Amino acid sequence: SQQGEEDPQALSIQEGENATMNCSYKTSINNLQWYRQNSGRGLVHLILIRSNEREKHSGRLRVTLDTSKKSSSLLITASRAADTASYFCATKAGGGNKLTFGTGTQLKVEL
Amino acid sequence: GAVVSQHPSRVICKSGTSVKIECRSLDFQATTMFWYRQFPKQSLMLMATSNEGSKATYEQGVEKDKFLINHASLTLSTLTVTSAHPEDSSFYICSARSVGEGYTFGSGTRLTVV
């Protein structure tokens, strides 16, 4: 399977704390994307990092990419209860259109 | 921003019947659409990729006669689950993309076969 692995599978934190999720993948990539999915809903694109970038920020999100280790991390700072969702990394390789999704991290932010 | 509308959001059908799920790009032309299947608390598994006006490309292990995909226009793709069985119960999500643009996902369809 080409699917990437994410850890942790589940993460429970208190509001205001930071949440870090990690993603590992198997093949060379063009870019890596992070998506959010609320329960029973579709996916919302959060951030894209290209293979020649090492770090990217968007609001409370910080993404890093280490192509030598084939890994990425997503940091959500000052988490809120509304951040409760599943988070998936997805990679795009070669000239194709396909996205390959990681196994996902279920984040729960408690008040 | 780009919006993809997916209908229905929920459907319950009897075993042996067929169900059609629609995926529409509302404000852009989608040259490529993707159909995913997702089991509870699991990741998205790509079922097939469809380009407008051509036959869909199915992933290994996906029965093309069971999951019929039609991408008749640049704004509409449909997935028909034929002769549905309880094991077909799942969450189905479509995604659409135009050339050089990102991926926009529909809100998903919860299919329950009884």
Query: Whole-number mean pLDDT of chain A?
Result: 93
- pLDDT at position B80: 97
A103 CA: distance to closest CA in chain B (Å): 5
Residue A4: pLDDT over 90: no
Per DSSP, the residues of chain B read ---EEEE-SEEEE-TT--EEEEEEESSS--SEEEEEEE-TTS-EEEEEEEETTSPPEEPTT--TTTEEEEEEETTEEEEEE-S--GGG-EEEEEEEE-TT--EEE---EEEEE-
pLDDT tens digits along A32-75: 999 999 998 999 999 999 999 999 999 999 999 999 999 999 99
- Give the A-side interface with B, CB within 8 Å: 3, 33, 35, 40-45, 48, 88, 97-104, 106
If residue A33 lies in a helix (H) or strand (E), which one and from where to where?
A: strand A31-37
Check CB contact under 8 Å for B42 and A97: no
